[in-house]
Amino acid sequence: MNFDLTPEQDQLRDAVRELGRKYGHSYFVSKAKSGEHTAELWHEAGRLGYLGVNIPTEYGGGGGGITDLTLVCEELAAAGCPLLLLVVSPAIAATIIGKHGTEEQRKKHLPGLADGSEKIVFAITEPDAGSNFHRLSTVARRDGDDWLLTGRKIYISGVDEAGHVLVVARTEDASTGKLKPALFIVPTDAPGLEKSKLDMEILSPENQFLLFLDDVRLPADALVGESLDAGLPALFAGLNPERITVAAMGAGTGRYAIDRASDYTATRKVWGGNSIGSHQGVAHPLAHAAVQVELARLMIYKAATLYDAGRDLEAGISGNMAKYAAGEAAALAVDTAVQALGGAGMATEYGVSTLLGAVRAGRIAPVSREMILNFVAQHVLGQDKSY
C-alpha cells in the first residue's frame, strides 16, 4: 500500500496549486457576482495542459488518469476556485467520448477538450425523473438517417459556455421494442434546442439551465459509439469520474475554508494576549473538520486509484463513498469556518460564506447523500433495494 504520489503527480499538484493561487477566491467571486465566467483561468489551465491530463496523448492530452484530474480539481478548489466544468467537460464528457466514442468523435472533440478550446456539458437530469435514467422521457427516434430528439433537461451546468451538450435520451430497440439509453453529441446552437437560465442561490460563475429539445435534428454520427449498444456502458463510464472529481472539488473547498479560518483564528486576539484559536471551543471544531476532510481525501484517492486500475465495481463503491464523505466534510468545514470568524465569516472579503451555497449543493448533486446511502446499504451491506 502506497500513499505517495508519483514525482510527476507531485509536480502537477504543485503547479496547479500555484496557478490557483495566482487567481484566488477573490477572482472567482468577482466573476460570479458580475455574471462573467472564469475564462482566463480556464484557458490558462488548458494552455498549461491541466484540463487534458486524463486524455490520451494521441489526442493532445497528458495521457494520465482520473487521479491526475482529481489533483487538478482539488488544488484549484483549495485555492478558492472550485470549477464545476472541470467535472462536466474533462471528467464526464472526455471520458465518455474517449472510451466509447467513435474514432471520428475522438479526433473531433478530444483535442479541444484537452486544451480548453472546447467545452462539452452533460444533460441527464429531468424535471420528472431526476437522474433516474429508467424514467427518462427525452426520446430519440429515427427519421431516415437522422435522429430527432424531444424532451426536457434541468440543472444542466454551463450550457452558455459550451459548444456541445452530451444528451442522454431513450431509443427504441428494434429487436425488442424496449427503450434503452443512448447518448448524443448535440450542438448548443442546434435548431429546436432552447435554454432557459435558472436562478440559483449559489455563488458561482457557472450557470444552470433548463433545456427544451423540440425535434432537434441530428445526423447519424451524433450518436456516441458505433451503435445503440454503446449507450448504457457509455453512460456508466461517466458516473465514477463524476463522483470522484466532485468529491475532490468538495475536499479542496473544505481545505480552503479551514486554511482561511486557521489563519484568522491564529492571529485574532480579543480577550487578553491569546489568540482566539488558543481556545478549545474554537480550535476543536476546526480540528474536527480538518479530520473529516482528510478522511474524505483518503477515500477520494482510493477511488481514483481503483478507477485508473480498471477496477470499476470497486471504484463505484469507493467513488460513492468518497462523494458522500467529501460532501459532508466540505459543508462542515465551511460552516465551521464561518462560525470561527464570527461576524467576519459573513463578510465577502473574508471569503468563506461565499461558499455556503456550493457546499450545501454538494450534499445533493450530482447524487444525493440519501441515494448514496441506499447504494451502500444494497451493494455493501447486502440489504434489499429500498427504492
pLDDT tens digits, residue range 160-179?
999 999 999 999 766 666 77
Q: Which of 267, 257, 151 is nearest to 211 (CA)?
A: 151
pLDDT at 361: 97
pLDDT at 273: 85
pLDDT at 134: 72
Cross-strand bridge partners of residue 172: 179
Task: Give the span between the Cα atoms of 220 and 121, in whole angstroms.
Answer: 20
| Spans of the chain below 50 pLDDT | none
Task: Give the span between the Cα atoms of 5 and 62, in whole angstroms.
Answer: 16
158: Cα within 13 Å, side-chain hemisphere = 26
pLDDT at 375: 95
pLDDT at 177: 60
Cα-Cα-Cα-Cα dihedral sign, residues 299, 335, 71, 361: positive
DSSP run (H or E) holding 150? strand 146-157
Task: Give the span between the Cα atoms of 258 and 304, in whole angstroms.
Answer: 24
pLDDT tens digits, residue range 322-380?
999 999 999 999 999 999 999 999 999 999 999 999 999 999 999 999 999 999 999 99
Question: Torsions phi, psi of 164, nearest 5?
Answer: -140, 155
Q: Are 264 and 340 in contact (CB under 8 A)?
A: yes
pLDDT at 173: 65
Distances, alpha carbon 310 to alpha carbons 157, 237, 279, in Å = 28, 11, 47
In 46-145, the DSSP E strands lie at: 120-123, 139-143
Task: Give the span between the Cα atoms of 34 and 109, in whole angstroms.
Answer: 30
Task: Give the span between the Cα atoms of 26 and 80, in whole angstroms.
Answer: 8
